[in-house]
Amino acid sequence: MTEQATQTPSQIQEANIQWLTLQRAVALGMVIVVLIPMVIVLQQVIPPLAVAGVLFGTAFALTWRRPRAAALAIGVVSVLWLLFQLANFSQVFSILTLPSETLFFLATLSTLVLPIAGLVGLLGLVMELSDTLAIRTLQATGIVLLGGIAVALLTIV
């Protein structure tokens, strides 16, 4: 028998809580990162950002009603966002090479790092990987984002 076969349903669900937490962090982070620059700084609606914000926000809200389905949806939206970013690589790359544009640099970095974590979350949920990987992914995402903040602040000085 496999280890999973001997676990009770509540133990299996508990193991997924870390993955759900990761996916919630990804979705909430993406909503904040795409909406704040668009609404507050640019003061205009940019369709791809608005659509991403709505999709991530909706999936985030559904994590309390249908946790697994919503967490999987966050992973799928993350993959779609990464494909969109890949299609616009030249624009994304040009922003990442200008850390002196602090807000846009951090927003762009975040819109790359968070969906990568969402992709890992999708794989973790589908493949039923260890919840330790979810915790490590969340920690690594935080470290990379803190590093981005440090780089942006160092270029201001």
Residue 46 has what DSSP assignment?
-
- Residue partners of 63: CB distance under 8 A and separation at least 6: 20, 23, 24, 27, 70, 71, 74
The position carrying tokens 């544009």 is 101
**Taking the complete model, does pTM exceed 0.85, yes or no?**
no
pLDDT tens per residue, range 104-140: 778 888 888 999 999 999 999 999 888 899 999 999 9
Q: Model confidence at 157, in pLDDT bands (50, 70, 90)?
A: low
Q: Can you tell me the distance from the alpha carbon of 67 to that of 64, in angstroms, rounded to the nearest whole number?
A: 6
pLDDT tens per residue, range 33-73: 888 777 777 778 778 888 999 999 999 999 999 999 999 99
The pLDDT of residue 100: 63
pLDDT at 151 over 90: no
